[in-house]
């Protein structure tokens, strides 16, 4: 009985932490335009909570910001996205850091507002088709 209670409590703590992470990331999105530094702090805080509670951010959450400099990502504004050998390559314009994600066949996993992503990908794809061996 004692053990079960402990487990229940632990689950609740995790759930609250997950909610907090979600809230912090949406705050980061909201403040990005007006206060990028504050936005960064929200992301660092979200990461810290995840680390403390041993929670992994989900795929969508991880893609929302740059792992290296914690900048909230706005495709076409502070980062660009390329598709290379079924890997999504995101380059951050702030720190120049690159992140890789496997490209899933399910288009809707990339993001709800993926029109921009798709355009970017089509563009880089056609570049490869034209035979650009060293794209840059
Ligand atoms: Zn960065």
Which domains occur in the chain, in start order?
1-67 (1.20.5.420), 73-136 (no CATH)
- pLDDT for the residue 106: 55
Tell me the residues surrounding ligand 1 (ion) with CB < 5 Å: 66, 68-69, 71, 92, 94-95, 97
Calculate how far, in angstroms, residue 69's C-alpha sits from the geometric centre of ligand 1.
4
Q: Report the C-alpha gap between 106 and 67 in whole angstroms.
A: 24
Calculate how far, in angstroms, residue 109's C-alpha sits from the geometric centre of ligand 1.
22
Q: Over range 40-62, report the average pLDDT.
A: 94
Burial zone of 136 (CB within 10 Å; 0-12 exposed, 13-18 middle, 19+ buried) = exposed
Higher confidence at residue 108 or residue 14? 14
pLDDT tens column, 20-30: 999 999 999 99
């Amino acid at each position: 009985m004692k053990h079960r209670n402990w487990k229940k409590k632990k689950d609740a703590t995790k759930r609250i932490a997950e909610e907090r992470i979600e809230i912090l990331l949406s705050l980061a999105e909201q403040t990005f335009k007006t206060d990028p530094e504050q936005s960064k702090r929200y992301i660092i805080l979200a990461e810290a909570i995840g680390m403390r509670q041993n929670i992994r951010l989900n795929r969508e959450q991880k893609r929302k910001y740059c792992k290296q400099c914690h900048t909230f990502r706005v495709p076409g504004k502070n980062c660009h996205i390329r598709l290379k050998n079924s890997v999504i390559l995101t380059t951050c314009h702030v720190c120049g850091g690159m992140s890789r994600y496997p490209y899933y066949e399910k288009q809707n996993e990339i993001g709800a507002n993926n029109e921009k992503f798709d355009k970017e990908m089509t563009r880089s794809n056609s570049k490869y088709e034209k035979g650009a061996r060293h794209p840059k």
